Amino acid sequence: MAEELSTVEGKKEESSLPPSSFPKSRRLRKREEYKFFLKTSQRKFGKYISLDFRNDSVGKLGITAPRKFGKSHERNRFKRIVREAFRTGAFAHNISLHIYPRKKAKEATMQDIQKEMKDLIHYVTQLPSKTSRYYH
């Protein structure tokens, strides 16, 4: 089975990943990426999540679930739900997102969070693009 996968230096290529995967190239991963993203993004609040967004050539996702949100199993549950919604959703591929939970997200069901995420993303894709949340 390992021979069937195309590899580059022992790593899977993105093209060989199944469509249900969430490749690293679609994630915000480094601190510098987050800092730059937060400087150049806009913010929208929902009942369960806070969404920072920015038009980008490649859509990426960043999720921050701080310790203040809850215990590790609650933070991990939130991140799983958001990743699944992003992966399966028909979102524009040219928008990068950073998602932060609000207190009520613990009480929300998976469908609630996914619906709110879909609604907020639909709303922000209809807005005229701005370069920063800090208006001059």
Domain extent listing, the chain: 25-126
Nearest to 96, CA basis, from 136, 40, 134: 40
Q: Name the CATH topology of 25-126.
A: Ribosomal Protein S5; domain 2 (3.30.230)
DSSP three-state, residue 115: helix
Helix (H) or strand (E) holding 50: strand 49-55
pLDDT for 124 equals 84
pLDDT for 18 equals 56
Structure tokens at 122: 């639909």
- Global pTM reads 0.74
pLDDT for 130 equals 56
Angle (nearest 5°) at CA 80 between 78 and 83: 110
Query: Who's near 4: CB < 8 A, 6+ residues apart?
Result: none
Helix (H) or strand (E) holding 54: strand 49-55
pLDDT (tens, 9 = 90+) of the chain, 136 residues, equals 444 444 444 554 445 555 566 778 888 889 998 899 889 999 999 999 999 998 888 888 899 999 999 999 999 999 999 988 888 876 767 888 999 999 999 999 999 998 999 899 888 888 765 544 544 4
DSSP three-state, residue 37: helix
pLDDT for 49 equals 95
Alpha helices by DSSP H, listed for the chain, are 31-40, 72-88, 110-126
